[in-house]
Amino acid sequence: MNNVICTVDVVLLTIKDERLSVALLKREREPYRGVAALPGGFIHAEDNDARDAALRVLNEKTRIEAPYLEQLATFSGPARDPRGWSISVTYYALVSFDVIERAGHPDIKLANVDQLTNLPFDHRGIIETAVARLRSKSQYSSLPCYLAGEAFTLPHLQRIYEALMGEPLNKVSFRRKIKEMAMLEILEGQFDSAGAHRPAQLHRLKPELRERLTLLERGL
Amino acid sequence: MNNVICTVDVVLLTIKDERLSVALLKREREPYRGVAALPGGFIHAEDNDARDAALRVLNEKTRIEAPYLEQLATFSGPARDPRGWSISVTYYALVSFDVIERAGHPDIKLANVDQLTNLPFDHRGIIETAVARLRSKSQYSSLPCYLAGEAFTLPHLQRIYEALMGEPLNKVSFRRKIKEMAMLEILEGQFDSAGAHRPAQLHRLKPELRERLTLLERGL
């Protein structure tokens, strides 16, 4: 078959107010013009592959560059897009909330993933698939660190894991597991002095792990 | 971009002689005519989605129907197919060796996944991705049961898990984990009397689990 519509869509996830949230953008064109949807677009002949297209589209539409990004799944069929038989190679990307703030795009709306309203195409299913993937991988990997920003404290990281897993975690066992994954390094002499407690040590993800997950054999 | 080449490819895996093996077929057309490759083909306008296309193509090319089949990943770019910018939505399928034998297609060749020779396109990378996915999921799920056939003994199933995981498993702990997954049922009065030992009880996967994985929280 010729002329399959080939697109990419990106589920950009962040933690806002301790809630997992997805970035939605008003569509500039038909179909569904003006409706909030996932940032997405056509694959171009100049793209090296679908991943490259996803990074380009994300940057064009949200001004965000080089987030942690992973292929999610491909959605396809004659009915998901009113223009015809279509394929969307979808990706999920993780950033800290301050990355979205700094990008400063006026039209990005963050929606709590547990309270999604009407979405065009099959975007609800795509988001649900991304959230399920993230939550199931969170228990066994360093994935949530990509939501924590450049520098973070261990209590902040624990709140992110808790937001993803939907339950409080024991502090001692959480810290043991994090140590076991050997994915963080201390930022010598740097502390977060916000909050009521004594200044907390800042950490960051080891630079060599920026694009590679660390796995935890037995889970949190 | 118009005219992206949209295909599906299927990594059909089985256990032959206690080795994980992949089904390869001689290509009937250019490019790479006559070369052994993954069964694959174009998506058709009549397909309901890429999964439907994968099942159709697998059946047309290997005569195998309705195996356990799961989306693997999508491979894309301007260089992977000499005909132009292409997308391949890939799937992996699991069957027992007797299903391939019964299908009786004369041109299927089974290749040990650890001893692959030259393959066209990016098929080697696709197979490696499928094998890594299967092996990593085997430790935590009922996935290997789909390689065991309709009825099987527990020693046979253990050998399949061992072939995938590349190491011997303790029999007592293996049986405890299998019981924990609650995925099998006993075939009353049916035994396998092949082999030197006393006849062994036959089991099967619970019918409701034919297309749905059971997960094991702590791994084997």
pLDDT tens, position by position, B108-134: 999 999 999 899 999 999 999 999 999
CATH class of A138-209: mainly alpha
Per-residue model confidence (pLDDT) at position A209: 80
Joined tokens for residue B92: 């992996």
How high is the mean pLDDT of chain A?
92
Give yes or no for a contact between B138 and B165, defined as CB atoms under 8 angstroms apart.
Answer: yes
Asked whether the beta carbons of residue B76 and residue A43 sit closer than 8 angstroms, the reply is yes
Q: Where are the domains of chain B?
A: 5-137, 141-209
**Chain B contact for A1 (CB, 8 A cutoff):** yes
Closest CA to A70 of A34, A53, A47, A94: A94
B positions 115-144 inside 8 Å of A (CB):
none
Residue A217 pLDDT > 60, yes or no?
no
What gap in Å lies between CA B177 and CA B166, rounded to an integer?
18
Residue B105 pLDDT > 90, yes or no?
no
Which of B5, B7, B43, B49 is best to mutate for the A interface (most A CBs within 10 A)? Answer: B49
Residue B217 pLDDT > 80, yes or no?
no
Average pLDDT on A158-167 reads 92
Q: Do domains A5-123 and A138-209 have the same CATH topology?
A: no
Residue A182 pLDDT > 80, yes or no?
yes
Residues of B in contact with A6 (CB under 8 A): 1, 4, 6, 87
**Chain B contact for A73 (CB, 8 A cutoff):** yes
CATH 1.10.10.10 fits B141-209, yes or no: yes
Predicted ipTM? 0.92
Asked whether the beta carbons of residue A1 and residue B77 sit closer than 8 angstroms, the reply is no
Residues of A in contact with B87 (CB under 8 A): 6, 43, 50, 87, 89
pLDDT more than 70, % of chain B: 95
Residue B219 pLDDT > 60, yes or no?
no
pLDDT band, residue B214 (cuts 50/70/90): low
- Among the residues of chain A, which ranges form H helices? 50-62, 97-103, 123-138, 154-165, 171-181
Residue A21 pLDDT > 80, yes or no?
yes
DSSP chain B: ----EEEEEEEEEEEETTEEEEEEEE-SSSSSTT-EE--EEE--TT-SSHHHHHHHHHHHHH---S-EEEEEEEEEESSSSTTSSEEEEEEEEE--HHHHHHH--TTEEEEETTS----STTHHHHHHHHHHHHHHHHTTBSGGGGGS-SSB-HHHHHHHHHHHHTS---HHHHHHHHHHHT-EEEEEEEEE--SSSS-EEEEEE-GGGTTS--B-TT--
> Which CATH number describes the domain made up of B5-137?
3.90.79.10
Phi, psi torsion values for A76, nearest 5 degrees: -155, 165
CATH 2.40.30.10 fits A5-123, yes or no: no
**Chain A contact for B155 (CB, 8 A cutoff):** no
pLDDT tens, position by position, A60-102: 999 999 889 999 999 999 999 999 999 999 999 999 999 999 9
Residues of A in contact with B2 (CB under 8 A): 2-3
Residues of A in contact with B3 (CB under 8 A): 2-3
Task: Name the residue of chain A whose CA is nearest to B52's CA.
Answer: A77
Asked whether the beta carbons of residue B89 and residue A85 sit closer than 8 angstroms, the reply is no
